[in-house]
């Protein structure tokens, strides 16, 4: 899905499409959608900035809930494919033998 397709979605569709991005915390996508204020995001960087601004404005309890929703790094727990790719990119799948 590209930015133009995301911009064409209504709120429930938008949240359904990308609500999983921040560790299955759809409230982040809901707030990013609300930040749009009837304007399209010009690019993915603008969407990311909207997410980041909304996260920084949350109270400590909400920020901690988001962090706690993240799978433990380096464990063998079942994680999403996006998290697996993120951890692999960070070198967390390397063997230390």
Supply the residues annotated as catalytic. Answer: 70
Q: Specify whether the CB–CB gap between 1 and 17 falls below 8 A.
A: yes
Whole-angstrom distance, CA of residue 94 vs CA of residue 84: 12
Q: Specify whether the CB–CB gap between 70 and 20 falls below 8 A.
A: no
């Amino acid at each position: 899905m590209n930015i133009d397709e995301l911009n064409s979605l209504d709120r429930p569709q938008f949240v359904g499409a990308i609500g999983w991005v921040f560790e299955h915390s759809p409230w982040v996508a809901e707030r990013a959608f609300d930040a749009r204020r009837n304007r399209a995001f010009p690019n993915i960087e603008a969407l990311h900035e909207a997410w980041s601004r909304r996260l920084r404005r949350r109270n400590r309890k909400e920020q901690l809930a988001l962090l706690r929703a993240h799978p433990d790094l380096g464990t063998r727990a079942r994680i999403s494919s996006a998290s697996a790719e993120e951890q692999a990119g960070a070198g967390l799948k390397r063997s230390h033998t």
